[in-house]
Amino acid sequence: MRFVIRPTADPKNDVDLTERLTAAIAEEIWLRYGGNERLNWLEAELHLQSILGGESAPRRSGGRRDSLLVTRRLHDAARRDRESVGVR
């Protein structure tokens, strides 16, 4: 899913902000919780898809509960990654 805007100053040209928004979310996750930049990026993509109401966002019968499980798994993987290189 892409996030594209058309600026008022140049409405004929699209500006794709998807990568910048994903980067901002991933950076905030890293600042608050540390972790692996790849996992943080993947988690950020999931959150952006959820924010934009994307069909490809992980939607199961559990809704938010399943989303929290995905987030927890990503954080657990990041923690194991940090511990494997001696960072706590």
Question: Phi first, then psi: what are they for 14, rounded to 5°?
Answer: -85, 145
Give the CA diameter of the chain.
51
Structure tokens at 77: 């993987």
- What is the per-residue pLDDT for 57? 45
CA distance 36 to 26: 10
In 14-65 the beta strands, taken as DSSP E runs, fall at 15-16
Note the pLDDT tens digit of each residue in 71-86.
666 666 666 766 776 6
Average pLDDT, the chain: 79
Note the pLDDT tens digit of each residue in 29-56.
999 999 899 999 999 999 999 998 865 5
